[in-house]
Structure 1
């Protein structure tokens, strides 16, 4: 048993004997960092997870929030979850990323929901490195193949490049599901005497030890030596499982459910009964298998995909089997829920039955001791700007053409983002917007300037944003993580959506290194603090540590996925229109000038504090929501990666450009600070009624008129005594870095 000696002593003391080989392996996996959160759990109480619309918070397969609706008659719940599949995606980019999608979709199924949207946040090493391109291509292909085959649209996310992901990329995937309240399930076993039924693909030997593999640093031989720990997905079986699950839930045949992910059947079934304060008796030879001569340990711990464990009343078992057969899926009645221990037996070919596991389920799931690790708090970086200072036009072209700021169209055009016919605003904008025609918008949320009859049947629009900012959190974990939370909320607000809830995927390096653990603690502190300030409950998430390799640890990376709602789906986009003034909603004390974590410094060297944050982030988000919903608003775009100059370039179309004059620089960062600082919570708005925008923003920030659209597609920016001018064709050329390199 590869547990630390102190853990082994606890197990022996609890059992009163030496553990069996199967028990040893089960404890190794369920007490791993990946499953037990031994280093992170002491930090997680910092997050506030309760709120007016929260139905189920952290602890289940996915969180559940209530959609604000017009009446009780059309209530719907959203499920919301996020997972990482980092190590597997390094070893096998295609299958690692594909099975990451499959896993988070099954988390959605286990709550009784139907999956309606995916968002992926991806992080790779330097784009100039050929291995990074290989990983990017494989991961995108895996996500697109799996998501497209199962018919769930990938509607948003993020892609970032940073040298410190060279030996350990990150693949974080979020999923949103929808269900009526009466279909809600949990992973809490209900009653002794019920049956445990395994539905889905047959069990093979793929993915053995996946949980423990995810809890170790990657070494230089990982791509070959760790290949057996990576699962192999079958999206067509997953699609059948989605439809089977929908039928089982709609016929009220399931008491509780858990998908088979980390630690396979052993993890899912033991956690299911432990949450209900119960036990189980499982006969492992009953599990339908695709490979001969599988050992009890292999059956118990294989992480073969597309499988669900259901608690079913005895009188409903035959109907469950009938539905599974109809959808051409395997179905095995593998055991019973009991009031005793978690017991697994196996009968060999001779007919002799052996008890291979006999432990207390709660001890197995919750008994891992937490780690008490040394932590060194991060310090704010000094200000050291590029010397010599680059020419502004040179800097603009370098920043706009950098892979982090360049168009991600090559990536998201491989995803089917319209399947399901819900998508109103797809990838490439600040946030995705989906229609929920099952529910109508609350009266209080509707535009008072419109006739009530015209919005009587208006659906709720669901906005989704996901991502992190590695340059920010590498510069300063606490401030950077605050910026990540505000950035995602601003993305939603730019579509007119009010944030409802968030889930996080907290990625870090080896926590046994004090500086790494200090950085990880910093992103927890920053993310929790800003989400609390914004009154956005963090209702669930995932932790992935030991993202460390021979090239060093990753930057502390707090991926946040956030959902919000708005009345209707007619949201403004980032594209400028022919009519309307351009205004910048920003900070009261002048244009953001701190360059910390900016793409500008990444390109030209230097450090700085930042990014700048507004004085009252909650009021700022509320103001942007109001502006985005106003009839006078034509376009809204947040200021983020690359700064204001890049945001203005992104607003230009082939036919319509912008002509902008910015205030004279007054800080040490000069014009570069005005153009390239990445302080979140700022947006560029195009409006036909600037005074209306000022009234809506009020004291929440400064509103500055900065320019107007032009009719030739040219971007023109005057700042101080410098001018940036770039034709539409050149803007397109500069933003095509990723496409040009991969096509």
Structure 2
């Protein structure tokens, strides 16, 4: 029996599985108050998924408002679209705009690693496409449990294969990211994907259903049962249905269909026949219809029978909740429908008119001639519950910060320093990521200028002018555990610095905020502090947050992950031919360390790798120094004064030097600056520092510029062709030995 709105009004006491669908008693009562009756099964399903934490941000909204209070102007131009849209859009000059965003697909990637990761990439690509942009690149930020854990052995290969398989099939270069191992992610990996796209200003499209009489068209893949139970916790046995009682909870991706969908959509944009558009992500049709209607005229009627299905047994609730991939919804004027259908047919993309925009102010959905949904669309899409969750600084925070690493045994001889360096460069978080990144196509499309293992990815945007963009995606859960406010600012500072070392000007920020349960006051304090830290930091740097994603309930039983705010920074470079690579190449170039080094080891990789220790305070943040450093790097790049630059972060100067000499297989002679302890010089993780290689003829100009700006700079070495990294007076290690230590870890761990 179909549960119609008429039936719902006549049976107010009919029991419904609201709790099983994740609604609280007060939320269910609120739905009844909104409708003036009990919801139908279809309406209950829609509210349950759209009011879920994943879709409504009901626990995080009160804190995320901080981002909206920022300036909407970047160092280049204004934001053309920001928080609340599918993705942020930044004016980069020359009439061009860039849209970029990161999102999580954590829980599906644990359940089914390949498809979870693959559909995470597909979903963020469609977000970018929906803004009117051509996707031009992807990145990923991945976190797993210990490298040698059985669960990591199961999850990581599938996740990496999924990210690479989907992105490679789409023909999008994967230009950067990170892979991190920590026990806190055991049983709850983090899979955060970023996509960036390019458009002209006039090509911007927004998600709204405007124009009474305009047709609502669903196009792309057919709707199946996959993905039901993802965002919504929906299972078909929960409803009175004759369909199968088990559906796959993870979406199944088809990158070849997505590629057709991209090209088809871009041609539809070029034909100027799309009045509004929305991609299908979490919550499927429930999300697409309610968000389009809510942002437009406020009225829409949908005939659910017209939705093309892969599985004829699907109940109407399941059709509304299905998160099947590679689908879009467009609003089209009646006169343009025929042209729309012809373009879709050209690309072999199925398209069906499933509804119409009206002036009713209601979203109505019919099934087999009966009305099963009749709701105010804004109450579904935008007016969900908002909670001010209790939060408080944890009782254990003081003890954690008091557990300084100062008491830990430090290497005191040259031999000890050498052994420490080799141990660290081969450790899971500092070793080469080539085993991962070699599975990704980094250079497809021909516009990749820099990609991993560089500090940031750089893409050419305009061939004529050389205009390009740089992107970095960074986080450090250990720092955020010690101090979520400072730890988040450190993630921002590192991503900002990684963009700056390419010679680009950092201009805007996206984020993916991964935390444990919002019902835990400790976690909510971490979240609130992280948001405050990011908002304050972006205000100081002048880099507005353009949008992002929140992922909560990341924990195994009662154990939450480290708070992990992943920060993405976008930079603009006027001419990509002036970009600065990270590796040393030419013997005779002078190596300088920019920035001040302090004895800062709280949360450091040295404490983690050598002692398994987490405690103390993370390094101090100085955004004024970060801005000054970025300005120096940008100016030096424009004048061709720097041949290479590498940021100093995890693992300290030692790690930066190792990666710089290994990049092109050259050597370097390095000395410890006067007054610095060799251990502190090599392994401190103090911020606002980079190492640079300066051609000898440019040395006076470069040091003069640093001195004029009052920025600390110290000559610490010279590039040579001896095939050795020689820290004079301490130790030497051959490039071949370094390479073995650096490159063998991941292949050995995942050998067949």
Normalising by structure 1, what TM-score? 0.91
CA 416–312 in structure 1, closer or farther in 2 if over 3 Å, else same: same
Query: Within 5 Å, which residues of 2 pair with 1:441-590?
Result: 457-550=464-557, 552-570=559-577, 571-576=579-584, 577-587=586-596
Give 1:357 deviation, angstroms: 0.8
Residue number among 629, 634, 638 corresponding to 2:638 in the alignment = 629
Contact preservation (8 Å) 1:118, 1:153: yes
Residue number among 581, 591, 598 corresponding to 1:592 in the alignment = 598
Residue number among 121, 136, 145 corresponding to 1:125 in the alignment = 145
**2:735 is matched with which residue?**
728
1:42 is aligned to 2:62: yes
SS at structure 1 position matched to 2:428: coil
1:183 is aligned to 2:199: no
**2:89 is matched with which residue?**
64
**1:451 is matched with which residue?**
none
**2:186 is matched with which residue?**
166
1:716 is aligned to 2:738: no
Deviations 1:339-377 (A, max 9, x none): 2244343443xxxx2111111001111222211212123
CA distance in 1, matches of 2:705, 2:477: 33
Aligned residues: 697
Q: Is there any run of 5+ residues in structure 2 with no aligned partner, and where?
A: 1-17, 235-244
Give 1:642 deviation, angstroms: 0.8
**2:282 is matched with which residue?**
262
1:110 is aligned to 2:130: yes
Contact preservation (8 Å) 2:113, 2:155: yes
Query: Within 5 Å, which residues of 2 pair with 1:205-354?
Result: 205-213=225-233, 228-348=248-368, 353-354=369-370
Deviations 1:34-80 (A, max 9, x none): 011011111112222611331111111111111123xxxxx111111
**1:28 is matched with which residue?**
48
Q: Is there any run of 5+ residues in structure 1 with no aligned partner, and where?
A: 70-74, 215-224, 439-456
Give 1:665 deviation, angstroms: 5.6
**2:241 is matched with which residue?**
none
Contact preservation (8 Å) 1:80, 1:503: yes
CA 514–665 in structure 1, closer or farther in 2 if over 3 Å, else same: farther
Contact preservation (8 Å) 2:422, 2:741: yes
Query: Within 5 Å, which residues of 2 pair with 1:77-116?
Result: 77-116=97-136
SS at structure 1 position matched to 2:272: coil
Give 1:171 deviation, angstroms: 0.6
1:358 is aligned to 2:374: yes
CA 426–356 in structure 1, closer or farther in 2 if over 3 Å, else same: same
Contact preservation (8 Å) 1:655, 1:712: no
Segment drifting more, 337-346 vs 55-64: 337-346
CA distance in 1, matches of 2:247, 2:602: 39
CA distance in 1, matches of 2:204, 2:668: 49
Segment drifting more, 112-121 vs 290-299: 290-299
CA distance in 1, matches of 2:639, 2:737: 33
CA distance in 1, matches of 2:28, 2:291: 20
Contact preservation (8 Å) 1:91, 1:227: no
CA distance in 2, matches of 1:96, 1:620: 39
**2:408 is matched with which residue?**
387
Contact preservation (8 Å) 2:102, 2:510: yes
CA distance in 1, matches of 2:339, 2:634: 48
Residue number among 658, 662, 669 corresponding to 1:659 in the alignment = 669
Deviations 1:595-653 (A, max 9, x none): 12210011214433221333533222222222333322111000011111110111113
SS at structure 2 position matched to 1:82: strand
CA distance in 2, matches of 1:100, 1:534: 30
CA distance in 2, matches of 1:209, 1:171: 19
SS at structure 2 position matched to 1:424: strand
1:610 is aligned to 2:618: yes
Contact preservation (8 Å) 1:31, 1:368: yes
Contact preservation (8 Å) 1:434, 1:463: yes
Contact preservation (8 Å) 2:297, 2:358: no
Residue number among 713, 725, 728 corresponding to 1:703 in the alignment = 713
SS at structure 1 position matched to 2:223: coil
Give 1:152 deviation, angstroms: 1.2
Give 1:227 deviation, angstroms: 7.6
CA distance in 1, matches of 2:678, 2:672: 9
CA distance in 2, matches of 1:677, 1:458: 40
**1:428 is matched with which residue?**
453
CA distance in 2, matches of 1:631, 1:341: 59
**1:406 is matched with which residue?**
431
CA distance in 2, matches of 1:266, 1:93: 26
CA distance in 1, matches of 2:187, 2:627: 38
Deviations 1:688-729 (A, max 9, x none): 2333222323345200010111212211224xxx61321001
Segment drifting more, 621-630 vs 563-572: 621-630
CA distance in 2, matches of 1:100, 1:483: 26
CA 376–725 in structure 1, closer or farther in 2 if over 3 Å, else same: farther
Give 1:119 deviation, angstroms: 0.8
Contact preservation (8 Å) 1:15, 1:359: yes
Normalising by structure 2, what TM-score? 0.90
C-alpha RMSD over aligned residues: 1.8
SS at structure 2 position matched to 1:648: helix
1:647 is aligned to 2:649: no
